[in-house]
């Protein structure tokens, strides 16, 4: 019996599946770069100047870059960068930093500070096509721009891995600020590449992501999807991106099960308002005001016309039912549910790094 480990929050969980039920386990297979290559790229940054390093999320790759930057500063007797991040992930980021270093909460009003260097890992995204530093910034700080980006979406289904007018809106927004970025492309094994420069320029790494992360597997009737890392399943809103990345490969009438802890809850105002009955599907198509996460609610409603979605998470069952999701108590229960509803001989496709893969 194959033993497959899938990410679930800060830990991994094991999926026991009989060989006759395993279609295939799909993972991205990009070649990681050596530590020396990472340091060489980072050495292009003038570390003698003040740097406010803004960590937009936490991951092993993010921690690797922070550690490498601090090592370079130590070797050259330069001051360490000031590390800033959101309060909710401050302890996680600090845990991966060298002893004696400090970290502070990022003040949203500091976006005009020219010393800012934003850091994030690139993924796919249903609205923008790609999740980049620019798209993360427009979501956090560009509410008016987000209405325009949402209006310029390619229809009402998710379009990950495609160049979009919405991405151009994000690029336009980030161009308003004299800031820098460290954009990272990774897989579960490590860092594939990184780019340093203005966030409107570093998004050129989308080509690198495409080069190893796209897999054509045909239509599947049953699929189990793990996001691949904690920062991609800390909320339901973030987790859904992994579902969008696989939605084109799921048969009509099929079943997709998302393994996502969602420790920080729903993660979007739109999902919260819908569950509370304050937002209808009708308002999603042509809104006059953007509400955070509207695209996920729109995409969810559309793809559920084609296939069922199961969810393994710690979210209250009440939330899942309101969103028409099948609640499952754990990964073992997921496999049992598939065999019970799809047949004992059903083949299941396993996606281990859903946030950084595009399955077609």
Residues 157 and 229 in one domain: no
Residues 352 and 223 in one domain: yes
Residues 150 and 282 in one domain: no
DSSP state of 229: S
Q: Provide the residue-wise pLDDT of the chain in tens; the chain has 360 residues.
A: 678 999 999 999 999 999 999 999 998 888 999 999 999 999 999 999 999 999 999 999 999 999 999 999 999 999 999 999 999 999 999 988 877 788 999 976 678 888 999 999 999 999 999 999 999 999 999 988 999 999 999 999 999 999 999 999 999 999 999 999 999 999 999 999 999 999 999 999 999 999 999 999 999 999 999 999 999 999 999 999 999 999 999 999 999 999 999 999 999 999 999 999 999 999 999 999 999 999 999 999 999 999 999 999 999 999 999 999 999 999 999 999 999 999 999 999 999 999 999 999
Name residue 105's beta-bridge partners: 85
- Global pTM value: 0.94
Question: With contact defined as beta carbons under 8 Å apart, do 70 and 94 qualify?
Answer: no
Residues 277 and 234 in one domain: yes
Residues 40 and 13 in one domain: no
Question: With contact defined as beta carbons under 8 Å apart, do 223 and 254 qualify?
Answer: yes
Q: Among 192, 210, 228, which residue terminates a domain?
A: 210
Q: What is the CATH number of the domain that holds 346?
A: 3.90.226.30
Q: Among 210, 245, 263, which residue terminates a domain?
A: 210
Q: What is the CATH number of the domain that holds 162?
A: 3.40.50.11440
Q: Among 210, 241, 273, which residue terminates a domain?
A: 210
Take residue 25 and report the two structure tokens written for it. Answer: 């386990």
Residues 61 and 164 in one domain: yes
DSSP string, 319-337: HHHHTTPEEESSHHHHHHH
User: What domain range is 169 assigned to?
Assistant: 35-210
**Distance in angstroms (rounded) separating the CA atoms of residues 194 and 182:** 7
Residues in CB range of 154: below 8 A, 6 or more apart: 162, 164
> For the chain, how many structural domains are there in total?
2
Residues 247 and 322 in one domain: yes
Residues 201 and 315 in one domain: no
**Distance in angstroms (rounded) separating the CA atoms of residues 5 and 17:** 11
Residues 268 and 175 in one domain: no
């Amino acid at each position: 019996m194959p033993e497959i480990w899938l990410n679930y929050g800060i830990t991994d969980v094991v999926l026991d599946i009989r060989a006759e039920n395993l279609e295939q386990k799909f993972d991205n297979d990009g070649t990681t770069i050596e530590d020396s290559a990472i340091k060489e790229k980072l050495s292009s940054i003038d570390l003698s100047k003040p740097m406010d390093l803004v960590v937009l999320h936490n991951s092993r790759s993010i921690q690797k870059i922070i550690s490498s930057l601090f090592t370079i500063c130590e070797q050259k007797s330069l001051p360490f960068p000031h590390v800033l991040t959101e309060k909710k992930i401050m302890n996680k980021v600090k845990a991966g930093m060298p002893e004696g270093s400090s970290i502070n909460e990022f003040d949203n009003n500091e976006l005009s500070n020219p010393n800012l260097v934003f850091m994030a890992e690139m993924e796919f995204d249903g609205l923008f096509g790609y999740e980049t530093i620019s798209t993360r910034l427009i979501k956090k700080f560009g509410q008016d721009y987000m209405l325009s980006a949402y209006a310029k979406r390619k229809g009402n289904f998710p379009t990950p891995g495609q160049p979009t007018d919405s991405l151009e809106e994000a690029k336009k927004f980030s161009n308003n600020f004299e800031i820098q970025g460290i954009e990272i492309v990774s897989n579960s094994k490590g860092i594939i590449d990184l780019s340093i420069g203005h966030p409107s320029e570093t998004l050129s790494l989308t080509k690198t992501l495409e080069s190893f992360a796209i897999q054509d597997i045909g239509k599947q009737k049953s699929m189990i999807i793990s996001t691949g890392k904690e920062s991609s399943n800390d909320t339901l809103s973030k987790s859904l991106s992994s579902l969008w990345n696989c939605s084109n490969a799921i048969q009509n009438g099929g079943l997709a099960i998302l393994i996502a802890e969602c420790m920080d809850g729903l993660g979007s105002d739109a999902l919260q308002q819908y569950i509370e009955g304050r937002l209808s599907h009708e308002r999603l198509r042509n809104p006059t005001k953007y509400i955070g996460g509207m695209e996920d609610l729109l995409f969810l409603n559309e793809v559920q016309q084609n296939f069922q979605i199961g969810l393994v998470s710690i979210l209250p069952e009440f939330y899942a039912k309101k969103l028409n999701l099948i609640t499952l108590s754990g990964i073992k229960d997921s496999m049992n549910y598939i065999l019970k509803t799809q047949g004992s001989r059903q083949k299941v496709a396993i996606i281990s790094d859903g946030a950084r893969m595009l399955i077609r």
